[in-house]
Structure formats: structure tokens, C-alpha cells
Amino acid sequence: MNIEFSNAVLAPALALLAGILILLAPRFLNYFVAVYLIVVGIVGLIPLLQR
């Protein structure tokens, strides 16, 4: 089974992980949101930077 990591796979997986972590430790919500946004931004820019 070969899974290609792309926005279609990575964004929902990160959202699910962030949601679970927020439920477990809600006081860290700001950190989870910040890390999620940074990761999604980097993943979104990678195709543009590889040109």
C-alpha cells in the first residue's frame, strides 16, 4: 500500500490530530492552532518553492 503525502492527505490528518489534542489539553489550543497553520502553510508552499 503506497500512500502519497499531499495536501489531500496531510491537512485532514493534521486536523484530526489537532482536534484530539485540543480535546485532551484545551489550554494548549493556541499552540496547536499555531503549529497547524505553520505546517499547512509550509506544505502549501512546497510545490511553489520546488520550481
Could you tell me what percent of the chain has a pLDDT over 70?
Answer: 84
Asked if pLDDT for residue 2 goes beyond 60, the answer is no
Q: What are phi and psi of 2, to 5 degrees?
A: -110, 115
Alpha helices in 1-51 (DSSP H): 7-24, 29-49
In tens, the pLDDT along 10-21 reads 778 877 887 888
* Residues above pLDDT 90, as percent of the chain: 0
Q: In this predicted structure, what is the pLDDT of residue 3?
A: 55
